[in-house]
Every structure is written in structure tokens, then in C-alpha cells.
């Protein structure tokens, strides 16, 4: 398939179950076995959790350790927005980003935005994706931070504000003041670049 993958999206509010009076452990084992059968195929699995029950969340989190498949585990829009905000305060994790992830759009920075503050290279990649421009059209943030922020500011001018799930109001995709605080010279952000 020339490097292409098929997205398998699973939306669930509980543990796997089967018709009849099957033991819940058997149903879970059968589910894991069914997913393992996909390991040789070019698939990308998105599991959209529709619950916050701890045992359910833990079961699906453990799947990543059991399988040799790329898995994206997603919570609801607001919870994901909060997770992203903890690591990348400058980003408005608006609903279109969440929908892209829910529908299986695969981009390497999607895996990172809720795990750590993006590096400047990753930030540039993310902005190119977000604004739909070629990465080469955005100045390298490591080489010329000022030119990078000027370009991002111009790109933001052409965008509508989006609902921000953390601030509960419309905001730009990127908060330029927080971006500067996290990445600019003399940074004093409570973020950590790994």
C-alpha cells in the first residue's frame, strides 16, 4: 500500500463484551486476540473512550504494551484539550484538531502534543500542518525565532478564532504571548523541553 495505513476507529464506553454469558475476561482476551490478528496489516488504531471508568481506561492503556500496533487512545475533547494544555500551553486544542485525531488522521506531532512541550523543529512541523503550508515556507524556529513568529502571526491573521476547551471562549489557534514565553529568548515558561 506504499506506506499507507487504514485507520480502524473504535469508540467504546466499556470493556469488550460478547453476546451470551461469557466471562468478561474471556471477552477481553478475545478482543486482544482479534487486535493482534491485525499486527501484520498496515493499520492504525484509534480508540475513542467514551467513559472515565478507571478499569476501562486502564484496560485500553495496557493494550499499547500488549500489541505491536500503533494505537492512539483518545479521551473526550475537553479532557484532551486539558492534557495538551499541560504540555503546550500556547496551543488552542480546538475541535477540528480533535476530530482529525478521532477520525484517524496520522501525523507524528499528534502523538507528541499531549506528551511533552514540542521541540522547535516539531513546533515548525505542527504549524505547517495546522496552517496547511509547506514546512519550507515557515522560517526555522531554531535559526531565526523572530522570523518564525512573524510568519506564524501573519498566518494566524487569516484564521478564524476557535473554541478553546480550556479557556471556554474563542481564541486564536496559537497564543503568541505564551509561545514566546515557552520558546523565545529568555524563556521562563513552566514547560520543559525534552
Number of separate domains in the chain: 2
Q: Which of 13-17, 18-22, 36-40, 136-140: highest mean pLDDT?
A: 136-140
Using alpha carbons only, give the angle 106, 8, 173 rounded to the nearest 5 degrees: 35
pLDDT at 8: 93
The DSSP code for 193 is B
The answer as to whether 91 is a domain residue is yes
Q: What is the tens place of the pLDDT at every residue in 111-129?
A: 889 999 999 999 999 999 9
Phi first, then psi, for residue 169 (nearest 5°) are -160, 170
Is 172 inside a domain boundary?
A: yes
Same domain, yes or no: 51 and 15: yes
Do 52 and 124 sit in the same domain of this protein? no
CB distance 60 to 23 below 8 Å: no
Three-state DSSP at 40 gives: coil
Tell me which residue range forms the domain holding 52.
6-74
Give the rounded distance of the alpha carbon of 47 from its chain centre.
12
pLDDT band per the 50, 70, 90 thresholds, residue 1 = low
Q: For the whole model, what pTM was predicted? A: 0.84
Whether residue 84 sits in one domain with residue 67: no
Among 25, 93, 38, which residue's Cα sits nearest to residue 68? 38
Percent of the chain with pLDDT over 70: 94
Amino acid at each position: 500500500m506504499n506506506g499507507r495505513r487504514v485507520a480502524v476507529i473504535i469508540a467504546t464506553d466499556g470493556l469488550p463484551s460478547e453476546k451470551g454469558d461469557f466471562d468478561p475476561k474471556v471477552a477481553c482476551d478475545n478482543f486482544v486476540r482479534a487486535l493482534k490478528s491485525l499486527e501484520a496489516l498496515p493499520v492504525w488504531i484509534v480508540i475513542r473512550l467514551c467513559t472515565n471508568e478507571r478499569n476501562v481506561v486502564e484496560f485500553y492503556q495496557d493494550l499499547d504494551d500488549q500489541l505491536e500496533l500503533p494505537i492512539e487512545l483518545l479521551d473526550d475533547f475537553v479532557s484532551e484539550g486539558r492534557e495538551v494544555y499541560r504540555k503546550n500551553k500556547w496551543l488552542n486544542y480546538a475541535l477540528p484538531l480533535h476530530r482529525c485525531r478521532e477520525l484517524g488522521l496520522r501525523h507524528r506531532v499528534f502523538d507528541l502534543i499531549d506528551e511533552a512541550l514540542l521541540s522547535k523543529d516539531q513546533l515548525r512541523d505542527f504549524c505547517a500542518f495546522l496552517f496547511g503550508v509547506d514546512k519550507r515556507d515557515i522560517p526555522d524556529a531554531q535559526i531565526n525565532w523572530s522570523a518564525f513568529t512573524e510568519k506564524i502571526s501573519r498566518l494566524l491573521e487569516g484564521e478564524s478564532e476557535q473554541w478553546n476547551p480550556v479557556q471556554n471562549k474563542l481564541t486564536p489557534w496559537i497564543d503568541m504571548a505564551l509561545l514566546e514565553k515557552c520558546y523565545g529568548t529568555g524563556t521562563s515558561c513552566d514547560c520543559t523541553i525534552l
